Structure 1
Amino acid sequence: MKVLVTVKRVIDYNVKVRVLADHSDVDLKNVKMAMNPFCEIAVEQAIRLKEAGVASEVIVASVGPSAAQEQLRTALAMGADRAILVETDEKLESLTVAKTLAKICESEQPGLVLMGKQSIDTDNNQTGQMLAALIGAAQGTFISEMRVSAEEVEVTREVDGGLQTLALRLPAVLTADLRLNEPRYAKLPDIMKAKKKPLEIKTPADLGVEVKANTRVLKVVPPAERQAGIKVSSVAELVDKLKNEAKVI
């Protein structure tokens, strides 16, 4: 079975994000970029499926700027077999990405598509669901466990009420949650080997996808800074402040 994994280039989660002075967007100059953490979990799961003999080939795909080759090479170093980059410098919406990935699925015919449940930059949590709808595949979101058989995959989803177990017919689109696995670190020999693995570069036009924005960002502002705490001298003073100042009791 062929497994397709999607990868997104985002600001490293350890970096403190800054907003441009005109509030038009986030400042990306001289900022460390990395693979979206949820995508990294999806890559790890696909590699484990290959090591277990379930997957025959692991393909990683990304839609974004030329610099996203760096994140694809990281996925190749982790153990993926080949990569596809649909190169564009345009601002991408979830539906455009889903349509582009649908075209890749049309040509590659994967039995399973693994994705991160969301990206840590836009936090939309939309692309996986949209892709499943576009290609007519079963979908399992927020998965923390999975077991693959010949014709179906059993997944455990994390929902508000607890855990939900579903059996999905293949092909299926799955989006990974944090507790699915812990991604490995790429070893130096594997990083060197990854440089020789195939990485195919396409454009949205090659796939017949129009990159069109239906929304625009009006303003970006940083989150409000937390105020410093205070010390109280007694329980009575604490209760008084909670009741009369914070008004939470």
Structure 2
Amino acid sequence: MARVLVGVKRVIDYAVKIRVKPDKTGVVTDGVKHSMNPFDEIAVEEAVRMKEKKLASEIIAVSCGPTQAQDVIRTALAMGVDKGIHVEVSGAEYETLQPIHVSKILAKLTEKEKADMIIVGKQAIDDDSNQTAQMTAAALDWPQATFASKIENGDKEITVTREVDGGLETIKCKLPAVISADLRLNEPRYATLPNIMKAKKKPITKMTPKDLGVDVSPRITVVSVEDPPVRQAGAILPDVDALVGKLKEGGHI
């Protein structure tokens, strides 16, 4: 049975209206509701279902971030994950933490925990990078099955249905492997109150990137964060002739 490592990221809640800081260095996070990245919830659910089917022996949730990142680890534990690892990154280091850093951390933890499978969300809803799964697979030299909408476990291999631009693609890959979860893979469960209480007793190990030998120096510089341009107001035209005339003028409607 596989030991599964699941990546969980703390992001601004999807229902919150994002506000850019006045100095345009980033977005406002203080006093803003955060939650687990929705695609990571799907990854956690898939891992828990594997354990329920006796296909996984243990599930370990990993989150990189400040102290508050433990909140999303606790959510994962309440959903059925066995233990958590909090890789503490805070302050300026967290502001510039990138998928390349997270993938190296996941790769080191995979070797340390002797995991056979990594499942992460296909992307985080804050930076939309869609890079961590691919970079982790490269760091470990493992096969990757990204954008998974269906996973079927076989003997030392998995069959994954992927959502691609042209429709659905089915691939087989040998284990160990890295999988990234797409939207239609499953419907994540809600953590029940008894499981939330049980999660408080489950272990969370704290460490730093330095403990794992990972350098989190920034590789990029954020030049500016801007609000999207405001859409111009529309106009109501009396008839089709007026519409055609307006289009001929090349004006905005």
Q: CA deviation at 1:228?
A: 2.6
Equivalent residue, structure 2, for 1:233: 238
1:96-124 deviation line (CA, Å, top 9, x unaligned)? 11111111001112121100001111111
Equivalent residue, structure 2, for 1:22: 23
Aligned pair partner of 2:98 in 70, 93, 100: 93
Equivalent residue, structure 2, for 1:154: 159
Equivalent residue, structure 1, for 2:3: 2
Aligned pair partner of 1:172 in 171, 177, 183: 177
Between the aligned partners of 1:238 and 1:144, the Cα distance in structure 2 is 44
Q: CA deviation at 1:247?
A: 8.0
Between the aligned partners of 2:120 and 2:243, the Cα distance in structure 1 is 47
Q: CA deviation at 1:236?
A: 2.4
User: Does residue 80 of the first structure (1) align with residue 81 of the second (2)?
Assistant: yes
Q: How does 1:167-206 map to 2 (within 5 A)?
A: 167-206=172-211
1:113-168 deviation line (CA, Å, top 9, x unaligned)? 10000111111111110000111110011111110112100001111111110000
Compute the RMSD of aligned alpha carbons: 1.4
Structure 2's unaligned 5+ residue stretches are none
Q: CA deviation at 1:237?
A: 2.1
Q: Which amino acid in the other structure matches residue 219 of structure 1?
A: S
Between the aligned partners of 2:243 and 2:44, the Cα distance in structure 1 is 49
Q: Which amino acid in the other structure matches residue 6 of structure 1?
A: G
Q: Which amino acid in the other structure matches residue 129 of structure 1?
A: Q
Q: CA deviation at 1:56?
A: 1.1
Between the aligned partners of 1:243 and 1:94, the Cα distance in structure 2 is 47
Q: Which amino acid in the other structure matches residue 96 of structure 1?
A: H
User: Does residue 141 of the first structure (1) align with residue 142 of the second (2)?
Assistant: no
Q: CA deviation at 1:231?
A: 1.6
Q: Which amino acid in the other structure matches residue 46 of structure 2?
A: Q
Between the aligned partners of 2:58 and 2:251, the Cα distance in structure 1 is 57
Between the aligned partners of 1:242 and 1:169, the Cα distance in structure 2 is 56
Equivalent residue, structure 2, for 1:128: 133
User: Does residue 242 of the first structure (1) align with residue 243 of the second (2)?
Assistant: no
Alignment CA distance shift 1:21-1:54 (3 Å): same
Q: TM-score, normalised by structure 2?
A: 0.95
Between the aligned partners of 2:79 and 2:251, the Cα distance in structure 1 is 50
1:47-72 deviation line (CA, Å, top 9, x unaligned)? 11111111111111011111100000
Alignment CA distance shift 1:161-1:247 (3 Å): farther
- SS of residue in 2 equivalent to 1:56: strand
- SS of residue in 1 equivalent to 2:145: strand
Equivalent residue, structure 2, for 1:46: 47
Q: Which amino acid in the other structure matches residue 70 of structure 2?
A: Q
Q: TM-score, normalised by structure 1?
A: 0.96
Between the aligned partners of 1:54 and 1:124, the Cα distance in structure 2 is 30
Identity of aligned residues (%): 54
Q: Which amino acid in the other structure matches residue 192 of structure 1?
A: M
Q: Which amino acid in the other structure matches residue 206 of structure 2?
A: I
Q: CA deviation at 1:235?
A: 2.2
How many equivalent pairs are there? 248
Comparing 220-229 with 177-186, greater Cα deviation is found at: 220-229
